[in-house]
Amino acid sequence: MPTDEIKQRLKNAWVWQKQLEADSQMLQDLRDLAEQITPVYSLAPGGGGGGSNDKLAGTVAKIADVEMSIQNDIKQLTGALAATRALIKMLDDEKLQLILFKRYLNYQRWEVIAADLGYTWRRIHQMHAEALKILEKIA
């Protein structure tokens, strides 16, 4: 498998995590909007003007759609995390595994990984490249 494809597979969980975060924020925004909408009631036959009631119904429908999207995001994220873990576990070297885990599952920055492991930023990049080459051969 080419290195670019391996990197894409490793980044896949991050992409789904970001999508889940965006959908969760949208859901919160819609819920906040729904709380601000005041229904209008009327004693007249046929109900009231319907403007705010239609707006509330539309918002509730959007909330339901976003909740379904979040369920899909969770399913996709769970699968991507499992695939990423499995790919990383193919490495025999525990240090290389740790670097990939920190980067692709904990979403840590290179500087943080280098400091945590006691290596230079450059050395972490070299080890990352080494891990990708190994995965390219065995994946």
Q: Are residue 54 and residue 11 in the same domain, yes or no?
A: yes
Structure tokens at 125: 């990049």
C-alpha to C-alpha distance for 24 and 72, rounded to whole angstroms: 12
Rounded mean pLDDT, 129-137:
96
Q: What is the DSSP letter of 45?
A: T
> Residues 53, 10: one domain?
yes
Same domain, residue pair 69 and 46: yes
Based on the fold, state whether residues 66 and 3 are members of the same structural domain.
yes
pLDDT at 66: 95
Helix (H, G, I), strand (E, B) or coil at 39: coil
Q: What is the pLDDT of residues 26-60, one digit of tens each?
A: 999 999 988 887 666 666 565 555 556 678 888 88
Short-list 87, 95, 67, CA closest to 13 = 87
Sign of CA dihedral 119, 125, 129, 132: positive
Tell me, rounded to whole angstroms, the distance of Cα 46 from its chain centroid. 45
Q: Verify that 81 and 26 share a domain, yes or no.
A: yes
Question: In total, how many domains does the chain have?
Answer: 2
Q: How confident is the model at residue 132 (pLDDT cuts 50, 70, 90)?
A: very high
**Is 120 in the same domain as 62?**
no
| Dihedral, CA of residue 27, residue 29, residue 34 and residue 37, to nearest 10 | -170
The set of residues, in sequence order, having a beta carbon less than 8 Å from that of 24 and lying 6+ positions away, is 70
Domain that holds residue 37: 1-89
- Looking at the structure, do residues 77 and 107 belong to the same domain, yes or no? no
pLDDT digits (tens, 9 = 90+) for 72-125: 999 999 999 999 999 999 999 999 999 999 999 999 999 999 999 999 999 999
Q: 82 and 115 in one domain?
A: no
Distances (CA, A) of 83 to 11, 68, 79, 96: 11, 23, 6, 17
Q: Are residues 103 and 73 in the same domain?
A: no
Q: Which residues of 104-132 are buried (b: 16+ CB within 10 A; e: fewer)?
A: bbeebeeeebbeeeebeeeebeebbeebb
pLDDT of residue 41: 62
